[in-house]
Amino acid sequence: MFSVSGFDVSRCAQNFRLTDSSLLIRFNESTYFEELTEPVSPLPEEAFRFRNQSELIGLANTNTQLPDIIGEILGVKNTVCDPPEEKNRVTVILSLLNRLSIY
C-alpha cells in the first residue's frame, strides 16, 4: 500500500479518455510515493469482489465505483463439508492479466 501526495486532478479531454471518468490524475515533479510498511487502515483479505461483465457495464458512466480488472475466472469448484455446521470451501482458478494462474 502506498501514500501518494502532490498530484494534480484535472478534467479529461473528451476524445482521449482511457476510462469512463471525466477526471484524471496527473503526476508531476512534486508527486511523492511513500510505501506504507504498516498501513493506517489495513485492507481485510475479503476486500475484493468478483463482477461479471454485465455488472461492469452497469457501472459505466456512474462515477460511483472504481473497479479494477485484474483477470478472469477460469473455473470454480465447490467442496461440501460434513457436518453442515462446517464451512464449505470454494476453489477458484483465476487467470491474471500477467498470464499467471492462481488456484
pLDDT, tens digit only, all 103 positions of the chain = 778 888 888 887 777 666 667 778 889 999 998 888 876 666 555 556 677 778 888 888 787 777 777 777 777 777 666 666 666 677 777 777 666 555 4
pTM score of the predicted model: 0.37
Can you tell me the distance from the alpha carbon of 61 to that of 83, in angstroms, rounded to the nearest whole number?
Answer: 46
pLDDT, residue 52, reads 77
Residue 32: predicted pLDDT: 92
DSSP 39-52: -SSPPPTT------
Other CB atoms within 10 Å distance of the CB of residue 11: 9
Spacing of C-alpha 29 from chain mean position: 27
